[in-house]
Amino acid sequence: MPALTIFGRKWLAATDDLVYPGLFELFIRSVWFVLLGIACLRYYDETWKCKIGGGIVRVFFIGELIIILIVIVLSFIMVNQSSRGSITDTYARRFVPPLLTFKILLLLPEIGWNILGTLWVFGDYVKCTEEHYTITVIKSLVLFDWIMTGIALLGLALIFDPLGSLKNPDKILEDSVEHGKVSRIWMRRFKFLWWMRRDENADETFQHISGLLSSLFRGTDLVPSDVVAGCVLLRVRQKRETLELRRLNILDSPQYTVDENEIFTSDIPNWMTLEWAHHYIKLSIASYGWLFVLYQNTCTGCCKLFKRMTCCSCFRNNEQIVLDDNCCLCSLAGVKYLSNLSEDDILLASFRNHLCEIPFCVIADHKASSIVIVIRGSLSLRDLITDIAAASDTFEVNGLPKNSQAHRGMIIGAKVILKQLEQYNILKKAFKKYPNYNLTLTGHSLGAGLAVLLGIMLRPKYPLLRVYAFSTPAGLLSRDAARITESFVFTIGLGDDLVMRLSVDSTENFRTSLLITLQACKLPKYRVVLNGFGYALFGVPDRDLERTWRNNNIINSIPGQLPLLSITNDDNTINHNNHYNNDETIIFQKDLTRRRYSKVRLYNAGRILHIRRLKNYHNNDSIKKNNNDKLYHMRWAQPEDFMELTVMPRMLLDHLPENLESALDTLIKQQDDLPVHLDVV
């Protein structure tokens, strides 16, 4: 950070990204220099005895050794230069762009000499002694050089930035012009996904996503490695902030409990229980179908599915409605295996997966005496695009306050599901067959968000419906609308789940914190990334909490707001950095604060039960537990508790449905054997 500038344009790489690639190339080139040097010593005298092409062999040997030696020296200097300075101190790495330019230009003679080697060992232009060691080394070297050349060209293609032109460096484009250019670039990228072009709502969805992404990344000058390093630094900073706030007794620790009786009191509806939540998370997992079966049973998954498949089903008359499954009904087989339902209990199963059209099932749940709509979570690229279409849009439904807002992509998805339910009249048929059953909706992740919105749309007709939502995305509903859902939506989340904190608003705050944190770091990027691997394995040591920053004023007094960070130039070299001095930093931060895509803050929905792990526990003498048992505790949370996007080790693992199911199962088993002393993670 900022982006590397070569050949008159900016690229999606920085001057401090060359340390580890340079070390790798330095090692490989050194090995090949030794091998080629040995081959030259053994074979050079034989070239004078060649019948044809002895000169080609000698030119190849001498030229290749010189090129490799130059690359070794150049790589060593580039690694040394790229490792200097902090992440934003580009002046310390001012020699990297010309060095890299020279190295890229060396590709031309490398390709030329590699052609000579190819003519020697794979053509008829050279007739010399077939010495086994030398011929083997040269063949390997030629093939390796072609691979390295291909990797280099692929690397240039990957870091190519369509907006990196510097033809008019003195001309500052207005926000609207730049925003339009970036949006069109993102639009072309989505259009390149040809398998989505024919999807309904594709153009409109891509247009909104392009506007969102261009607003988030426009003018930030971030490269992918900056995001990786920034996440590592944010983890350290957030941990240091937490420790400091606890030391000052400013941070209020929420009260968790393992006792179900303290959570599910008389004012909580009787259908909101751990047992029913555990029952419906299993159904939500079942909606993932055959892919989840193979994920859990890598070796035996096919055998488990085969028992429940229906061969040549497309030539049979089926009572249940199955949409867009294959001829053997593999997706339906996965649902039956994971849910332990019979075929007659699955009333409708739609596996259509397009933009804003998510697979779902309608089942008769005899255990709960309910007709259940189970909606699948994100499992494909189309689902991911639906998730990213996170702009707020008007959501006018009977029972909601006027001008209520909701997640745009999920509004479209809920309307598509409602249209299919009405098209096949499935709910009317189901309640005609089971007149005493209730209506329940459930889902995980994206499926949870759709279940909430679909439940709101169906509630005027089915006022007693219930929704069990697991790991619901944060940016779902405006606050007043979310408050109304507390009476019929039961939301359950685990630990540091990323998706429960992921919204446009939290992402914009995260972007700003990321940039300011990168500017405050005094370590070089290669050390930050290296430390990140250590943190993942062993945690953050205390010494790194103290030496990572240029200043000590990093405390966030208000979660979700900009950090109270003042940059101080401790190093003299930073004063030479003409790109990121203090004045430009202040202007840059003000621009980020002003430029926000989210106009309305969206929140999580329903009554939220948050579950966390316990680090360790001490049992009394009458309780016997295995050392491998995981203890969990829980509390009722508010949507405001999930407005800040934090970097935590388990933020992705805690979103997985099998981990949430395991936590609920453990919580239920804990109710009879409660530990006396509990230490919170």
The pLDDT of 428-454, averaged and rounded, is: 96
Per-residue pLDDT band at 299 (split at 50, 70, 90): confident
**498 band by pLDDT with thresholds 50, 70 and 90:** very high
State the chain's mean pLDDT as an integer.
83
Peptide bond before residue 162 is cis, with ω within 30 degrees of 0: no
Predicted confidence (pLDDT) at residue 270 exceeds the cutoff of 70: yes
Are residues 161 and 9 in contact, defined by beta-carbon separation less than 8 angstroms?
A: yes
Instruction: Indicate if the pLDDT at residue 381 is higher than 50.
Output: yes
449, pLDDT greater than 60: yes
pLDDT at 561 > cutoff 60: no
What is the distance between the alpha carbons of residues 425 and 190, in angstroms, rounded to a whole number? 35
Return the pLDDT at 570. 41
- If one compares 658 and 249, the residue with the highest pLDDT of the two is 658
What are the structure tokens assigned to 344, written together?
């007659």
Task: Identify the DSSP state of 14.
Answer: E
Backbone angles phi, psi at 346, to 5 degrees: -95, 100
> What was the pLDDT predicted at 595?
53
**10 Å Cβ neighbour count for 460?**
10
Residue 552: how many CA atoms within 13 Å on its side-chain side? 2
pLDDT score for 83: 95
pLDDT reported for residue 576 = 47
Determine the Cα angle at 331 with ends 330 and 335, to 5°: 115
How many angstroms separate the CA atoms of 410 and 450, rounded? 6
CA distance 36 to 278: 64
pLDDT of residue 159: 86
Locate the DSSP E strands across 376-433: 392-394, 405-407
Cα separation, 248 vs 225, in Å, equals 34
Question: Is the pLDDT confidence value at 499 over 70?
Answer: yes
Q: What confidence tens digit (pLDDT) does each residue in 396-412 have? A: 999 899 999 999 999 99
> What's the rounded Cα separation, in Å, for the pair 11 and 78?
17
Query: Nearest to residue 126, comparing CAs of 212, 54, 188, 46?
Result: 54
Residue 11 confidence class, pLDDT cut points 50, 70, 90: confident
130 confidence band (pLDDT: 50, 70, 90): confident
Mean pLDDT value across residues 566-575? 40
- The whole-number average pLDDT for the span 268-296 is 95
pLDDT digits (tens, 9 = 90+) for 591-630: 555 556 767 889 999 999 999 998 654 443 333 344 445 6
With cut-offs at 50, 70 and 90, classify the pLDDT of residue 546.
Answer: low
Could you tell me how many helices (H) and strands (E) the chain has, helices first? Answer: 23, 15
% of the chain at pLDDT higher than 70: 79
- Rounded Cα distance, 533 and 521, in Å: 18
Using alpha carbons only, what angle is made at residue 147 by residues 141 and 149, rounded to the nearest 5 degrees?
100
- Could you tell me where the DSSP H helices lie in 425-541? 426-433, 446-458, 479-484, 504-520, 525-538
pLDDT exceeds 60 at position 254: yes
b/e map of 645-658 (b: 16 or more CB within 10 Å)? bbbbebbeebbbbe
In this predicted structure, the answer to whether residue 8 has a pLDDT above a threshold of 80 is yes
Question: Which token pair is 478?
Answer: 């405006």
Confidence bin at 304 (pLDDT 50/70/90): confident
Best-predicted range by mean pLDDT among 477-486, 582-591, 592-601? 477-486
pLDDT reading at 98 higher than 90: yes
Res 51 pLDDT > 90: no
| Tokens found for residue 511 | 């972007």
pLDDT-derived band at 675 (thresholds 50, 70, 90) equals low
Query: Does position 565 have pLDDT exceeding 70, yes or no?
Result: no
Q: Give the residue, 657 or 593, on which the prediction is more confident.
A: 657
Q: Which residue has the higher pLDDT, 378 or 391?
A: 378
pLDDT at residue 584 greater than cutoff 70: no
What would the mean pLDDT of 89-95 be, rounded to a whole number?
Answer: 92
Nearest in space to 16 (alpha carbons), one of 67, 85, 103, 77? 85
pLDDT over threshold 90, residue 491: yes
Contact 485, 270 (CB under 8 A): no
Closest CA to 370 of 333, 338, 413, 341: 341
CB count within 10 Å of CB 229 equals 29
- DSSP track, 487-520: GTEEEEEETT-SGGG--HHHHHHHHHHHHHHHHH
Side by side, the strands of the sheet bearing 9-14 are 3-6, 9-14, 160-165
Of 16-30, 48-62, 245-259, 426-440, the poorest mean pLDDT is in 245-259
| pLDDT at residue 596, as a whole number | 64
pLDDT in tens, 206-225: 777 777 776 676 667 788 89
The CA-based angle 628-633-634, given to 5 degrees, is: 150
The count of other CB atoms within 10 Å of the CB of residue 275 is 11
**Structure tokens of 307?**
């028992």
Residue 677, pLDDT score: 42
CA distance 508 to 598: 8
User: At the top level of CATH, which class does the domain 260-501 belong to?
Assistant: alpha beta
pTM confidence score: 0.83
Q: Is the pLDDT of residue 286 over 90?
A: yes
**What would the two tokens of residue 81 be?**
């230069």
Task: List the domain boundaries for the chain.
Answer: 3-165, 175-217, 224-251+504-594, 260-501
Q: What is the C-alpha to C-alpha distance for residues 215 and 516, in angstroms, rounded to an integer?
A: 18
